[in-house]
């Protein structure tokens, strides 16, 4: 059975008790902790900070994925590697030399991720696919939680699901991922799901119950 990766988007967590959130999510079966980093330029928002990465690193052994929604990410992969990120995901749209940056991530002993915005064609990053361990397809315009799923991205997901076999990356989606979308997209071939307000946080149910149910979908 193909593994389904559940990745809590920690920018949606309760920052009044971040330690407890991480520990409970870890025990509840979270697979990867998704940490959104934003610079106010590549996306018109600010996400989590360096201290958050360092703090979460001390609270769990599970992989941390630093989703760099920032300009010139190549300048900062060493920083996030040092903070303990296991996967470093960059937007080639924001990097003059994405192949060099992805190589740099791997040379640091980390997993390399490519993320593309809803309006970016897979064709534009085809040459990078051999350099990626993860491919994060944005299903909302990046930067904000609580948005609507962009249905036009489905065609891109079908293309990526086919390319997966050839290149061996794990296919992930990020943005307005509801339980219904998990069921639909897992069948399509998506491996990992960034979970925010649409499926996990603020649901009035404990994380164990929710994650166990999502795993079964
Ligand atoms: C979008 C963010 C995610 C996610 C949040 O840029 O990377 O944190 O959308 O989850 P939702 O969309 O379900 O609130
Ligand atoms: Zn993200």
Q: From ligand 2's centre to the CA of 24, what distance in Å?
A: 20
Partner residues linked to 171 by β-bridges = 135
pTM exceeding the 0.95 threshold for the entire prediction: yes
pLDDT beyond 90 at 150: yes
Distance in Å, CA 206 to ligand 2 centroid? 22
Mean pLDDT of the residues in the chain? 98
Question: Measured from the CB, is residue 202 less than 6 Å from ligand 1?
Answer: no
- Asked if residues 66 and 85 have their Cβ atoms less than 8 Å apart, the reply is yes
Mean pLDDT (whole number) for 124-149: 98
Give the residue-averaged pLDDT of 163-179: 97
Is residue 115 in contact with ligand 1, taking CB distance under 6 Å?
no
The terminus-to-terminus CA distance of the chain in angstroms comes to 12
Contact 14, 23 (CB under 8 A): no
- List, in sequence order, the alpha helices (H) in 11-97: 18-28, 50-59, 77-82
Percent above pLDDT 70 for the chain: 100
Ligand nearest, relative to CA of residue 11 = 1
What would the pLDDT profile of 45-64 be if each residue is shown by its tens digit?
Answer: 999 999 999 999 999 999 99
Condensed to tens digits (0 to 9), the pLDDT of residues 76-95 reads 999 999 999 999 999 999 99
Task: Answer whether 6's CB lies under 8 Å from 193's CB.
Answer: yes
Dist. CA 141 → ligand 1 center (Å) = 9
* pLDDT above 90: residue 25: yes
Mean pLDDT on 88-104 = 98
How is the chain split into domains, by residue range? 5-216
- Compute the distance between CA of residue 89 and CA of residue 154 in angstroms, rounded to an integer: 21
Q: Which of 196, 201, 203, 210 to mutate to test the pocket of ligand 1 (most atoms within 8 A of CB)?
A: 196
Structure confidence at residue 137 as a pLDDT band (50, 70, 90):
very high
Which atom, in ligand 1's list, is nearest to the CA of 178?
Answer: 13
For residues 175-198, average pLDDT: 98
Taking the CA of 10 as reference, the closest ligand is 1
Predicted pLDDT at 1: 83
Q: What's the whole-number mean pLDDT along residues 147-157?
A: 98
Catalytically annotated residues: 36, 174
How many Å lie between the centroid of ligand 1 and the Cα of residue 177? 8
Give the CATH superfamily of 5-216: Aldolase class I (3.20.20.70)
Q: In the predicted model, is pLDDT for residue 191 greater than 90?
A: yes
On the question of pLDDT at 197 being above 90, the answer is: yes
Distance CA 93, CA 208 (A): 36
| Ligand 1, atom 10: closest residue by C-alpha | 196
174: Cβ below 6 Å to ligand 1?
Answer: yes
Ligand 1 pocket member 12 (CB < 6 A): yes
- Taking residues 115-121, what's their average pLDDT? 98
175 lines ligand 1 (CB under 6 A): yes
What 3-state DSSP class applies to 109? coil
């Amino acid at each position: 059975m193909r593994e389904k990766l559940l990745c809590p988007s920690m920018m949606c967590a309760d920052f009044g008790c971040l330690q407890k959130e991480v520990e409970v999510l870890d025990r509840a079966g979270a697979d990867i902790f998704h940490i959104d980093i934003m610079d106010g330029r590549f996306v018109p928002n600010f996400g989590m900070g360096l201290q958050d990465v360092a703090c979460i690193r001390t609270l769990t052994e599970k992989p941390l994925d630093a989703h760099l929604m920032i300009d010139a990410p190549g300048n900062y992969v060493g920083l996030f590697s040092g903070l303990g990120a296991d996967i470093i995901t960059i937007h080639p749209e924001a990097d003059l030399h994405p192949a060099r940056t992805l190589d740099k991530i791997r040379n640091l002993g980390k997993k390399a991720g490519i993320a593309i915005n809803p309006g970016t064609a897979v064709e534009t990053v085809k040459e990078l696919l051999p350099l990626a361990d993860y491919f994060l397809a944005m299903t909302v315009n990046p930067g904000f939680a609580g948005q609507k799923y962009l249905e036009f991205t489905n065609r891109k997901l079908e293309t990526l699901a086919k390319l997966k076999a050839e290149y061996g990356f794990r296919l992930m989606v990020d943005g307005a991922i509801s339980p219904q979308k998990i069921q639909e997209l897992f069948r399509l071939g998506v491996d990992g799901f960034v979970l925010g307000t649409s499926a996990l946080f603020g649901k009035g149910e404990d994380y164990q119950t929710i994650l166990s149910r999502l795993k079964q979908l």
